[in-house]
Amino acid sequence: MPKPKDPDEDEDEDKEDEDSEEEDDGADLPDKEIVFEVITELVTAFLRNDRKKDEDLPKGALQEMIEKEVITVEEIVDRFREELEEQLDEG
């Protein structure tokens, strides 16, 4: 006659399954530091490099707008977050 299963054994098995899933999660993905490096490059381009030939928002204009409180860093960050979330949802 088979012995009844100990409920603690099921719990241990579930934990092992969760652990193995966590180990596999993101194993093939780049390190998040790479994302941070790309963000740094994007900000540099946004503030400097892309502004060199931009007639609508020339180099230095954004900094001046922030200094004169035409726009805030928070507004820029919020808009960036909105765009990021929207485009992630679009897939």
- Note the pLDDT tens digit of each residue in 27-76: 899 999 999 999 999 999 998 887 888 999 999 999 999 999 999 999 99
Q: What integer pLDDT is reported at residue 29 of this predicted model?
A: 93
**Mean pLDDT throughout 10-39?**
76
Q: What integer pLDDT is reported at residue 5 of this predicted model?
A: 65
Report the C-alpha gap between 66 and 72 in whole angstroms: 5
Task: Please report the DSSP string for 4-39 in residue order.
Answer: PPPHHHHHHHHHHHHHHHHHHTTTTSPPHHHHHHHH
What predicted TM-score, i.e. pTM, was given to this entire model?
Answer: 0.65
Q: How many CB atoms lie within 10 A of CB 80?
A: 14
Task: Please report the DSSP string for 32-65 in residue order.
Answer: HHHHHHHHHHHHHHHHTGGGTT-SSS-TTHHHHH
